[in-house]
């Protein structure tokens, strides 16, 4: 209701900041509200990545890029919150406007470009929560940290790419319940080139080594892939994950496809380049999940994201093989009670 009659008329990026600000302001009341006990009672915990998640539903990276409101978001019902994408260097992102609604499709187009404060600033912010290996279970949602390549680092300079991800890993791994290497956003030039197995393998191996040097316990490491990969490339990532002992795969990020949209073509064209998220992504994201689960077997953690708008969508993704779920656009259109509705439907 708020979206339809209020925030829909506001610039999408400004609307995001207004809504997120309201959630953060309400955080203490949300955390103490008795009504949240109903969410916990109707939500089955999930054991994955060596952790216990309060429920299967999490908030995908992109909503809390700076690590400023994850506890308040968890109080809405999300069992885990993934912050970021964070880069080693602070960067403003792409020029505005860079976020667009396609309301007829319940979709969003973004070309944010990893706008964030940089890994050092985010690490200082997270230090107040304490190191992950010292944190008591149940203190807020499970916290994932999503790291990506700084825009100024050329993707064809392997040593520079490794050094860039190393900086973020050293600074942020101590605070992560799990760590995600993002090589799948379409909004950083050259980033998706790193999804090629021959480029991805040394990157993941290096992040794993650095993370192990950084903290006394083993932080789970996952990779996030795009829906636009060919099926053979999806299977290649699955094989790499098993070969390297990766802890999981997140499937999928946004798509560059614009096929099958209800939104008038002129409106789609006006939105321009960027990654599309939301309901149109559901079919491909589900198909990628089935491919991955069939390839990796029953044990590897797979997090399903992309096009989850309803409890039925969530159930479909779990049936396709997802261990855990994430959402972003469904939450934007559904509002603050959306997590409770989906969990209640499950």
Question: From CA 81, how far away is CA 63, in angstroms rounded?
Answer: 9
3-state secondary structure 156-222: CCHHHHHHHHHHHHHHHHHHCCEEEEECCCCCCCCHHHHHCHHHHHHHHHHHHHHHHHHCCCCCCEE
Check whether 255 is labelled as a binding-site residue.
no
For residue 255, give the DSSP letter.
Answer: B
Check whether 61 is labelled as a binding-site residue.
yes
For residue 60, give the DSSP letter.
Answer: P
Check whether 136 is labelled as a binding-site residue.
no
Residue owning tokens 């070309």: 111
Check whether 111 is labelled as a binding-site residue.
yes
Check whether 254 is labelled as a binding-site residue.
yes
- Active-site residue 185, yes or no? yes
Question: From CA 116, how far away is CA 171, in angstroms rounded?
Answer: 15
Check whether 116 is labelled as a binding-site residue.
no
N- to C-terminal Cα separation, the chain: 23
Check whether 146 is labelled as a binding-site residue.
yes
Check whether 113 is labelled as a binding-site residue.
yes
Q: Considering 43, 184, 185, 309, which one is annotated as catalytic?
A: 185
Check whether 112 is labelled as a binding-site residue.
yes
Report how far apart, in Å, the C-alpha atoms of 69 and of each of 25, 32, 127 are: 9, 16, 14
Check whether 182 is labelled as a binding-site residue.
yes
Which own/partner contact pairs does 167-171 have at CB distance under 8 Å and 24+ positions apart?
Answer: 167/88, 167/119, 168/86, 168/87, 168/88, 168/119, 169/207, 169/210, 169/211, 169/214, 170/210, 170/213, 170/214, 171/88, 171/119, 171/120, 171/122, 171/123
Check whether 329 is labelled as a binding-site residue.
yes
**Binding site members:** 61-65, 85, 110-114, 146, 182, 187, 224, 252-254, 278, 307, 328-329
Active-site residue set: 185
**Binding site members for FMN:** 61-65, 85, 146, 182, 224, 252, 278, 307, 328-329
**Binding site members for substrate:** 65, 110-114, 182, 187, 253-254
């Amino acid at each position: 209701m708020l979206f339809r009659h209020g925030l829909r008329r506001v610039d999408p990026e400004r609307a995001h900041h207004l809504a997120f600000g309201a959630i953060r302001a309400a955080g203490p009341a949300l955390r103490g509200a008795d009504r949240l006990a109903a969410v916990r009672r109707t939500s089955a915990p999930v054991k994955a990545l060596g952790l216990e998640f309060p429920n299967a539903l999490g908030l995908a990276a992109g909503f809390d890029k700076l690590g400023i409101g994850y506890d308040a978001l968890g109080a809405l019902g999300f069992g885990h919150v993934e912050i970021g994408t964070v880069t080693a260097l602070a960067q403003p992102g792409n020029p505005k406007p860079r976020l667009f609604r396609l309301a007829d499709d319940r979709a969003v187009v973004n070309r944010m470009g990893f706008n964030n404060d940089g890994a050092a600033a985010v690490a200082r912010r997270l230090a107040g929560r304490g190191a992950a290996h010292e944190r008591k279970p149940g203190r807020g949602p499970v916290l994932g940290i999503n790291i990506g390549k700084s825009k100024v680092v050329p993707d064809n300079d392997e040593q520079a790419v490794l050094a860039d991800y190393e900086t973020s890993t050293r600074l942020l791994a101590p605070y992560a319940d799990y760590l995600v290497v993002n090589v799948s956003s379409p909004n950083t030039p050259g980033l998706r080139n790193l999804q090629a197995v021959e480029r991805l393998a040394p990157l993941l191996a290096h992040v794993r080594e650095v993370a192990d040097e950084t903290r006394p316990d083993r932080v789970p490491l996952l990779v996030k892939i795009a829906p636009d990969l060919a099926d053979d490339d999806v299977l290649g990532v699955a094989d790499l994950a098993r070969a390297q002992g990766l802890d999981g795969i997140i499937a999928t990020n946004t798509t560059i496809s614009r096929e099958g949209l209800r939104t008038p073509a002129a409106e789609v064209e006006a939105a321009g380049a960027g990654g599309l998220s939301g309901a149109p992504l559901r079919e491909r994201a589900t198909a990628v999940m089935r491919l991955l689960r069939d390839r990796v077997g029953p044990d590897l953690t797979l997090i399903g994201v992309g096009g989850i708008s309803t409890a039925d969508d969530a159930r479909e993704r779990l049936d396709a093989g997802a261990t855990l779920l994430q959402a972003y656009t469904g939450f934007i259109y559904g509002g603050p009670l959306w997590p409770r509705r989906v969990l209640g439907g499950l």
